[in-house]
Amino acid sequence: MKKENEKRKKQAKMLRTFRKVHRMTGATLFLFFFIVAITALLLGWKKNSYGVILSKTQTGTSTDLKKWLPLDSLHKKATSYLLDSVSNELSVAIKRIDVRKNKGVVKFMFTDYYGVQLDGVTGNLLLIERRRSDFIEGIHDGSVLDVYFKTNGNPIKLVYTTIMSLSLLTFTITGFGCGWGPKECENQERNK
């Protein structure tokens, strides 16, 4: 009987600790969990947003790469279109280049969350867009702060994703412990 009583006390103590950690984690990171959840939902729906979050990829004149302009020429044209059409104050630093051979299009994504789609053959402008999906992704993973503060190597993103991942893991483990704790522990907790 004494061993059983000790076992129950240990279980009750562990359950109280799990609940305390769970409650503190949830209260401390509520806003961040909310932001991660909303941005994840938006990113999941981006291709089905009818162009609100992610613009449709346009269609160029040919999928034959031999007919395409050199990438450096397309880059110069994309930069020129961006500066002339949106603002000459924007950064022309490239975040990534997406070649869509099957569509005959090259997409240039700039660090200021703008994108330019060009016909691979002619270099004609097909679309200039505000890359909302990239901005939402930046909020989701914390890299938007690295862009804002112009940091190298994404240190804010690394710290943010580490904290959020470990917190979510802690939240999951403590939530599991709270939800599946023995009934005796719950009864002891209520009787205190």
Q: Give tens-digit pLDDT for 15-58.
A: 888 888 888 888 888 999 999 999 999 999 999 999 999 999 99
Alpha-carbon span 78 to 179, nearest angstrom = 55
Residue type (1 letter), 73: S
State the pTM of this model: 0.81
Mean of pLDDT values over 74-85? 98
CB 96 within 8 A of CB 86: no
Sequence ranges of the domains in the chain: 2-46+155-191, 55-130
Report long-range pairs for 105-112 (Cβ below 8 Å, ≥24 apart): 105/57, 105/58, 105/59, 105/60, 106/68, 106/71, 106/74, 106/78, 107/57, 108/74, 108/75, 108/78, 108/79, 108/82, 109/134, 110/82, 111/147
* Per-residue pLDDT at 189 exceeds 90: no
Higher-pLDDT residue of 11 and 133 is: 133
Residue 158 has pLDDT above 80, yes or no: yes
pLDDT band for position 12 (cuts 50, 70, 90)? confident
Q: What percent of the chain has pLDDT over 90?
A: 69
pLDDT at residue 99 is higher than 50 = yes
pLDDT tens digits for 168-186? Answer: 898 888 888 777 665 544 5
Would you state the pLDDT for residue 190? 60
pLDDT at residue 184, rounded to an integer? 46
